[in-house]
Structure 1
Amino acid sequence: MHSPFMVCVVQAAPVYLDLERSVDKALTLIEQAAGDGAKLIAFPELWLPGYPWWVWLNGIEWAHQKGLSQRYLEQALDFEGLQAGRIARAAADHRIQVLMGTAEREGEHLYIAQWLVDETGRTLLRRRKLKPGPLELKVFGEGGAQDLPVVNTALGRVGALACAEHRHPLLKHAMHLQHETLHVAAWPSFALNQAPGMLSADTFLAISRTYAVEGGCYVLAPCAPLPAEVVALVCDTPDKALRLHAGGGHAQIFAPDGEPMCTPLAPTQEGLLFAQVDPQIVTRARNAFDLSGHSSRSDVVRLQGPTDLGKLPLPEGAR
């Protein structure tokens, strides 16, 4: 696709731990985005059925006792189930690509997943977070070597990573080598009260911005505000309430030169952010600096794995 087109990112909360009602809300957002001209909509990390904040606050035993662990498992998305089918049909009905962040259920196991459905309702990408954080590992399993795909779409080459995967230089480089034009950097909510800078919105927005410059691609960074009622649910003591706050929505879209393209919403505000993508801008950025091409020194350093990413072929039509 060589003509400019519109994309959007979600800054909205799901209906916490309620898969069906969250999908209802997702379908409304998909319809709204398509009605406003977007060709792709990107959702935050673990938007379905919400992020399990108790891993940072209470530990797994507390969640077991409260019934939240079982509820989370039951409300995670089964890709063969009814709710996944509703999302795919909505993408086809509204002729829009949907990149959903979800907890994936496979039997009794959970994974942090990202799922791209194209404008015909066809699945183009399903990936799992390679290395959930130390606390997240108490809930979610790890992904594998197959979970770093960049895929051809009608809008260009699309890839995705989740949250702290963007702090891992080798994972990022593996994506850059596959000639992304659109990258979805999915975040949950920046709602934890931690040491300054450690888990701040400014820090992670800077990481998304850097990704755009390094990769010479557009970066869509969806992020969900955390509702006060969710804080009340998982913070049952005053000391826990001091560690988590409502809000934390900081969605943005970055151009290949790193410039933010949207006026931010307030951290507690819900909505969609839109930006126009111009494939020619990607070409210009790659002419100036191209990690997968003329700016590479694969003769000196090369990323190798099950596939030699240093020798990936160019996608069809690329130069």
Structure 2
Amino acid sequence: MTQSVRVAAVQAAPVWLDAQASTDKAIDIIDKAAGQGAELVAFGESWLPGYPFWIWTRTPSAGVPYFLRYDRNAVTTDGPELAAIRSAARRHQIHVALGFAERAAGSLYCSQALIGDQGELLAVRRKLKPTHVERSLWGEGDGSDLLVTQTRLGRIGMLNCWEHIQPLSRYALYSMDEQIHIASWPALAVSRVEQGAQSARHVCASYALEGQCFVLSATNVLPAELAEELAPAPGALPPGGGAAAVFAPNTTVLAESSTDVHDEIVVTDCDLSAIRLAKMTADPVGHYARPDATRLLLDRTRRTPVVLLEPGADPSPADEPEPAPETGA
């Protein structure tokens, strides 16, 4: 495992509701990040095919036409979009963390993929609990989606947006010895109060401090023309909302975007040896823990709505979970 890792946090606007064009733009960004020496590049929440802003600004019935476009442009883990991005990762020998709307049978999920520098699909996870009106669009993940993956660069974990204010989910990833954390966000412009850039900044800094890890905050950007189209009233939906940054374990901001409205790639170096110094003082899942007083129960089994019994097989309870896949955690 290397000690110094060059990382890139993306702040950019995908081509909204166009999976192919957003894939092409992602590959262009990967090319540019690799040209700056990045070994890991992280994208915002639901980069493919963009964040579903209409769920916050339209009634359910008025949002149906947007849903149909979104559903058509959602992607599968074995589809051509992720295959093209995996090929770009392999070509540049760079790790890629990408948010995408995953289509699985009849449902959609807010997912994240971690792609290795040889183009291999190292991990895929789903948002455990979509936030507020997001639950009208995305299904839920389960305990198997809390994972940290061993890579050549170190141990990498991921969460989406307001999963970062779930203390137990955070603690679960800390316990897996996470070293680099990907915090993926939409354009933080839908609500300047509840999901503003300052909120995301504070959450990411506290994550770095608690988890003694490096945090890459990657965000989308809301273009002015799209903000105008989706705003419930003129000027009610401000464009921009970017807040890309990289945080060290002591909460130092190693690099950040210069504005919230333009596409930028934030690149910096992370010295992983700083993690050992941070843990010397306080390791909340190690020497600073009190398991005699408080402990976390983490169920990482994958839940399925149907359990198939083959002829002659021993009967099992209908809610028997499948084992979680191997993730390197």
TM-score, with length taken from structure 1: 0.92
1:54-95 per-residue CA deviation (whole Å, 9 max, x = no partner) reads 11111221111xx21111001011111111110111111100
Instruction: Find the counterpart in structure 2 of residue 230 from structure 1.
Output: 226
Say if 1:193 and 1:242, in contact at 8 Å, map to a contact too. Answer: no
Instruction: Find the counterpart in structure 1 of residue 217 from structure 2.
Output: 221
Over aligned residues, Cα RMSD in angstroms? 1.7
Give the secondary structure class of the aligned counterpart of 1:176. helix
Instruction: Find the counterpart in structure 1 of residue 51 from structure 2.
Output: 51
Matches within 5 A, 1:307-318: none
Say if 2:164 and 2:203, in contact at 8 Å, map to a contact too. Answer: yes
Instruction: Find the counterpart in structure 2 of residue 290 from structure 1.
Output: 283
Matches within 5 A, 1:36-115: 36-64=36-64, 67-115=65-113
| Residue 101 of structure 1, CA deviation | 0.6
User: For the residues of structure 2 that align with 1:307 and 1:132, how far apart are their CA atoms?
Assistant: 18
User: For the residues of structure 2 that align with 1:299 and 1:96, how far apart are their CA atoms?
Assistant: 42
User: For the residues of structure 1 that align with 2:33 and 2:78, how far apart are their CA atoms?
Assistant: 25
User: In 2 relative to 1, CA 83–193 (structure 1 residues): closer, same or farther, beyond 3 Å?
Assistant: closer
Paired residue type of 1:47:
W
- Counting matched residue pairs gives 304
The structure that is helix-richer by fraction is: 1
Paired residue type of 1:88:
R
1:200 to 196, 202, 205: 196
Unaligned segments of structure 1, at least 5 residues:
309-314
User: For the residues of structure 2 that align with 1:263 and 1:84, how far apart are their CA atoms?
Assistant: 27
User: For the residues of structure 2 that align with 1:147 and 1:2, how far apart are their CA atoms?
Assistant: 26
Instruction: Find the counterpart in structure 2 of residue 311 from structure 1.
Output: none
Give the secondary structure class of the aligned counterpart of 2:243. coil
- The question of 1:274 aligning with 2:270 is answered no
| Residue 30 of structure 1, CA deviation | 0.4
Say if 1:190 and 1:248, in contact at 8 Å, map to a contact too. Answer: yes
2:239 to 246, 259, 265: 246
| Percent identity (aligned) | 37
Paired residue type of 2:226:
V
Unaligned segments of structure 2, at least 5 residues:
302-326
Say if 2:2 and 2:152, in contact at 8 Å, map to a contact too. Answer: no
Say if 1:10 and 1:223, in contact at 8 Å, map to a contact too. Answer: yes
User: For the residues of structure 1 that align with 2:269 and 2:48, how far apart are their CA atoms?
Assistant: 27
TM-score, with length taken from structure 2: 0.89
Say if 1:178 and 1:292, in contact at 8 Å, map to a contact too. Answer: no
Paired residue type of 1:53:
F
| Displacement over 4 Å in runs of 4+ | none
User: For the residues of structure 2 that align with 1:253 and 1:299, how far apart are their CA atoms?
Assistant: 35
